[in-house]
Amino acid sequence: MKTEKLRILLIGYGKMGKAIETVAKSNGHSISAIISDKQMDLSHICKAYQPNIAFEFTSPESAVYNLESLIDAGIPIVCGSTGWLHNWGSISEKVKNANGTLFYASNFSLGMNLMFYLTQVAGKFMSELPEYEVEVEEIHHLEKKDVPSGTAITLAEKLIKAIKRKEKWVLNQPAAAENEINISALREPEVPGTHLVSFSSSVDTIEITHTAHSRMGFATGAIKAGEWVLGKKGVFSMEDMLHDAFKQ
């Protein structure tokens, strides 16, 4: 089936935004307009440039305002901004009420989404093995503003769902309580993103690790998400897209 070409309103032009631009153009899509990371009324931009989809990759401070503005303008959205999910309920409800389209992922890497699946499967086994303690570690570049990363939170939430004795995650507390999962967050120069889930006992340690070598993997997944979600209505995730792909 022929993929409709994307006319992208690109909101956020940092390293990730530039990677999305590169991948989009290499796949035959076009960039209608580029906007830096700031809050602004996007309705006149949408009318002037006529995009058929928006990619929102900004900061926790700008994301919610931008999402609300795009929903009001009736533009389908692919969002990778993190640190704003305390507003998830109101945003997803607004999308549904407007019969709009939102595709959100804390991480668009296809490899990372495989790690999400493996982590959840491993967690179900570890639920019956209380001798194993679990921890999540994430390392990112110095410019990343939200701590911990949205991806690390997603990993922790999948473990909490799978492991009966775990109820919540905590940040940078190695001596976490029995019902807690510690997320260790580090910031180092020029690190696109590394995530590690470890299950440790007195006799051995099992680790699942994803190391991004560049942002192109994230950008490729984001463009695939845009191609997949165009023409659909509702709130979607990488899990929805991958399940749909595996059914083929």
Residues forming the active site: 140, 144
Calpha distance 215→238 (Å, rounded): 17
One-letter amino acid identity for 153?
I
In this structure, are strands 133-140 and 77-79 parallel, antiparallel, or unpaired? unpaired
Write out the two tokens for 117: 């699946």
Q: 60-73 and 88-97 helices cross at what angle (nearest 10)?
A: 10
Calpha distance 132→130 (Å, rounded): 5
- 233 closest CA partner among 54, 69, 76: 76
Contact 86, 62 (CB under 8 A): no
